[in-house]
Amino acid sequence: WVDAYAARPSGLPHLGRVRAALTLENMDAEDWGQLQVLTLGENGVQPNMDLVNVVTYALGYHTLVDACFVPAADGFCSDAVSVRTREAMSRAGGLLGRLGWFTSAEVSKYALRLHAALQYALALAGGIAAGHGHFLRHGVDAVGIRMLKGKRRKSGGGPAAADRSRVFRAVELFVRDACNLEEDLHHAAFSYLYLLTRHFVSIGEYLGSLLLLVLPFAVEGLVQLGAAPKAAAASAALALSVAACAAVAAGEATRQAA
């Protein structure tokens, strides 16, 4: 349907435009207990971050179930650090605490968010998209909600149907909020990594560090090719990194000013 809508086989113009979309998956599942927010598209394409924030806000406002961005292989949400990793981080936190650098709680929090960010980055690089990916391929911002199995956090021991009704009320809230947000969708970021449901890192924050990481490889490549002496290659690579960081910062400032 999405491909046919974008192709316009009749040649006639559309009366309107599909600006945003929300896909629902596994809504008839009986053993569900968690929700996955689907944001990953093909070739690293992601929906507007404001749209994702509207979905997470609506779910948090109306439901009592956990939401995640990347599920584990068995279908459960995997935003949490594994037991073995948590134990290792606890030992490292104790060592750093004795040195007076960081507390164990700070190390655990950092490990949790780093674990989630790496999972999100790996899933994004994999390029596997769900139903919402068809909209993203045609330039339509789209987010998906998928029910996953897991233990449900109930309020007052209510039945599962009550939780399901809250999910659909969250969908209604998303539709109303997305209509109000439509005019400002082009102001938000499109390159980001989610750490937790309400915490993210935009490209303007991590691109500078990424360029500094690849700087030695760029210098070595120029030297191996014989394009320039080592000192000149290092200067050229550093200048390119600084210019790229400045361009990203200018772009972010321009979008915010707009």
Predicted local distance difference test score (pLDDT) of residue 11: 75
Rg of the chain taking only CA atoms, in angstroms = 22
Judgement on whether residues 12 and 47 belong to the same structural domain of the protein: yes
Judgement on whether residues 69 and 170 belong to the same structural domain of the protein: yes
Q: How confident is the model at residue 256 (pLDDT cuts 50, 70, 90)?
A: very low
Look up residue 221 and give its two tokens: 């490549």
- SS3 assignment, position 15: coil
* Average pLDDT estimate for 121-148: 82
* Average pLDDT estimate for 80-103: 63
Judgement on whether residues 77 and 28 belong to the same structural domain of the protein: yes
Look up residue 205 and give its two tokens: 């924050």
Last residue of a domain, one of 130, 153, 187: 187
* Average pLDDT estimate for 201-230: 70
Does pTM surpass 0.75?
no
Judgement on whether residues 75 and 165 belong to the same structural domain of the protein: yes
Quick one: what percent of the chain has pLDDT higher than 70?
Answer: 53
Predicted local distance difference test score (pLDDT) of residue 80: 47
- Does the pLDDT at position 258 exceed 50? no
Last residue of a domain, one of 169, 187, 205: 187
- Does the pLDDT at position 202 exceed 80? no
Predicted local distance difference test score (pLDDT) of residue 48: 82
Judgement on whether residues 169 and 210 belong to the same structural domain of the protein: no
Predicted local distance difference test score (pLDDT) of residue 199: 67
Predicted local distance difference test score (pLDDT) of residue 116: 73
- Is residue 25 within 8 Å of residue 146, measured between CB atoms? yes
Judgement on whether residues 154 and 229 belong to the same structural domain of the protein: no
Domain that holds residue 241: 192-256
Judgement on whether residues 113 and 155 belong to the same structural domain of the protein: yes
Judgement on whether residues 161 and 227 belong to the same structural domain of the protein: no
Q: Strand 141-149 to strand 32-38: parallel, antiparallel, or no bridges (unpaired)?
A: antiparallel
Distances (CA, A) of 77 to 35, 110, 150: 8, 19, 8
Judgement on whether residues 167 and 231 belong to the same structural domain of the protein: no
Q: How confident is the model at residue 20 (pLDDT cuts 50, 70, 90)?
A: confident
Judgement on whether residues 108 and 214 belong to the same structural domain of the protein: no
Look up residue 56 and give its two tokens: 């997470």
Last residue of a domain, one of 139, 170, 187: 187
- Does the pLDDT at position 230 exceed 60? no
Question: Count of CB atoms within 10 A of residue 53's CB?
Answer: 17
Lowest mean pLDDT among 70-84, 126-140, 189-203: 70-84
Judgement on whether residues 168 and 235 belong to the same structural domain of the protein: no
Q: How confident is the model at residue 158 (pLDDT cuts 50, 70, 90)?
A: very low
Judgement on whether residues 71 and 138 belong to the same structural domain of the protein: yes
Please tell me the total count of domains within the chain: 2
Lowest mean pLDDT among 10-19, 56-65, 206-215, 219-228: 219-228
Tell which wins on pLDDT, 24 or 197: 24
Tell which wins on pLDDT, 2 or 151: 2
Tell which wins on pLDDT, 225 or 189: 225
